[in-house]
Structure 1
Amino acid sequence: MKVVNSLIENCFAIIELLAIEAGSTRLSDVADRLELQRSGAHRVLSTLVKLGWVEQDDATDLYRLSLKLPAIGYRFMQAASLPDVLQPVLDKIARESRELIRLAALAGSNLTTIAHAQGAQGSLICRSRTFPVLPLHVSASGKVWLATLSREAALKRALEAGLGKPGSYGPREIRTVDEFMLELDRTTTRGYGVALEEAEEAIGAVAAPIVTASGQFVGALAIVAPAFRLNEMRLAELGEQTKAGAAELALLWPLRSVAGPDTANDEAAE
């Protein structure tokens, strides 16, 4: 059984799990997924229900995240002027690429999806799963962040994200340390990250790092598409589009405080 470090840590772990699952979840599933005792998980969930962060269905006893957290997140994004400042850039890239665009921001030790734009049309619209917190070792955006860190720090992050524990993501999920290190080298050389059916089946993505003039990594711009459309030529084309878009976003970036002024430098020094 997992050693409990703090109730606060378990509280946020449960909130993150419910956010990823999105639907209703059983108490036993929450406890098992997070390796918590069921009595402890029940206490935390009961408190979250009382505070309005979580809802419990009276008929089924299943738990789901309330709209309180997304509402707060929306208010924060509005206060940070994100829609006004960055959304037009995302919309332009979506039109040019004719694919789904996703923007992730570095918040502490996580990459969090904060905005998107849809450029695909007709019946070939990409409907990929949205990861509120990106799985670092199998996502294109995660790879470009990890490539900016020291190899030791990157490996530590990847192991924490599930590297070496296959079965949680897509059929081409990176499974070994050697594969992971080789992928980081390729990402560094190209200047953009690629993930083909790694995070989820039939879906691929290309991402570029958003780096401010001071050299601080603050987020990643990704183009997401059905994997069958991503041949070598198309990957190279989208890679250049993400790099150009990320450079434009870096000039406008209003969320430096999300990552903190010294996050990137601290990580690189690990």
Structure 2
Amino acid sequence: MRVVNSLVERCFAVVELLANEASAMRLGEIAEKLDLQKSAVHRMLNVLCEMGWVEQEPVTGFYKLTLRLAILGQRFLSATHLTDVCQPVLEELAAQSAELVRMAVVQGETLTWIAQVQGARNGLKYQPEMIAQVRLATTANGKAYLSTLSPTEAIRIAINDGGHDGGKRSMASVEEFMEELKLTQSRGWAISVEGAEPGVIAIAAPITLGGGQTVGTVSVAGPSSRLTAERHEKIASSVLATAGKLGELWPLRQQYNNAKQSP
């Protein structure tokens, strides 16, 4: 449960909640999850509907986001030229691994998916649910990111993300999770064996700049029938190499933007 104060913060909390849900939500559920009165939430939803950010389903009366947020997000991402710079490197890893490659960026204390390339040419193809925010405690990407932080910060962030609530995305125990982060930090890559989704294995590495700042993660994921234990080291080596390339390319987006702005 999250304590929401100002009106602006409440509106953004509503938008964020709807963005994290795969389906439309009823008024009472939104109010309950945000610990707000129904009347206050109803007023905010009416305003958001008038502004075009939210729409109400005519049959059920449930609320969901419109595509406006997604469109603005795509415009912003396009303007940064981040995917333009990184896409060829991701495509190379997808071709090498013949599995799904995804990249996430650090946003505050979370990770957000921004790019993916499907490398599987035939057979089973892992196609994950389209959720922007990365689950930190159970995904390889989340653990790769958390391994770059101090132990105290990593555990705090993982717990705040729902990693210790007893749900399906929870860590087994704080002690075991700490040991896993230590191992991840020492070898440079993380693995999730059916931790995020049944039958799926993922291997990820942090994308780090020269000064040591972690800006994102990159991963390879696929069915456990293909990503067998014999392939883990080879895949991890390719992921680490790709993370290194992305770390070198990351600053180029700013140079690209500066070049476009020059007369």
For residues 202 and 43 of structure 1, the distance between their equivalents in structure 2, rounded to whole angstroms, comes to 43
For residues 25 and 248 of structure 2, the distance between their equivalents in structure 1, rounded to whole angstroms, comes to 41
For residues 228 and 34 of structure 1, the distance between their equivalents in structure 2, rounded to whole angstroms, comes to 40
For residues 242 and 63 of structure 1, the distance between their equivalents in structure 2, rounded to whole angstroms, comes to 40
Q: 1:184 aligns with which of 177, 181, 192?
A: 181
The 1:136/1:88 distance shift into structure 2, 3 A limit, reads: same
Equivalent pairs counted in the alignment come to 254
TM-score, normalised via structure 1 length = 0.87
The offset of 1:5, in angstroms, is 2.6
Match of 1:228, SS? Answer: coil
User: Which structure 2 residues correspond to residues 1-270 of structure 1 after superposition, within 5 A?
Assistant: 3-169=3-169, 173-254=170-251
Match of 2:225, SS? Answer: helix
The offset of 1:77, in angstroms, is 1.4
Give the number of the structure whose alpha-carbon radius of gyration is greater.
2
Contact persistence 1:222–1:242 (CA under 8 A): yes
For residues 211 and 131 of structure 1, the distance between their equivalents in structure 2, rounded to whole angstroms, comes to 24
For residues 75 and 56 of structure 1, the distance between their equivalents in structure 2, rounded to whole angstroms, comes to 25
- Which stretches in structure 2 are left out of the alignment for 5+ residues? 255-263
Identity of aligned residues (%): 43
The 1:24/1:3 distance shift into structure 2, 3 A limit, reads: closer
RMSD (Å) for aligned C-alpha atoms: 2.0
Match of 1:64, SS? Answer: strand
The 1:232/1:27 distance shift into structure 2, 3 A limit, reads: same
Matched to 1:200, the amino acid is: E
Match of 1:199, SS? Answer: coil
Deviations 1:13-60 (CA, angstroms, capped at 9, x unpaired): 322222222332222232333343333332322222122111111222
- Which stretches in structure 1 are left out of the alignment for 5+ residues? 258-270
Matched to 1:18, the amino acid is: L
For residues 134 and 152 of structure 2, the distance between their equivalents in structure 1, rounded to whole angstroms, comes to 20
The offset of 1:80, in angstroms, is 1.0
The offset of 1:147, in angstroms, is 0.9
Deviations 1:159-179 (CA, angstroms, capped at 9, x unpaired): 10112212243xxx4232112
The 1:36/1:238 distance shift into structure 2, 3 A limit, reads: farther
Deviations 1:204-225 (CA, angstroms, capped at 9, x unpaired): 2111010111211100001121
Match of 1:188, SS? Answer: helix
Matched to 1:72, the amino acid is: L
Match of 1:145, SS? Answer: helix
Deviations 1:105-159 (CA, angstroms, capped at 9, x unpaired): 1122221111111001223110222331111111111111111111111111011
Matched to 2:9, the amino acid is: E
Contact persistence 1:90–1:116 (CA under 8 A): yes
Deviations 1:43-97 (CA, angstroms, capped at 9, x unpaired): 3222221221111112221111111111111111111112321111111111111
The offset of 1:181, in angstroms, is 0.7
The offset of 1:202, in angstroms, is 2.2
The 1:184/1:120 distance shift into structure 2, 3 A limit, reads: same
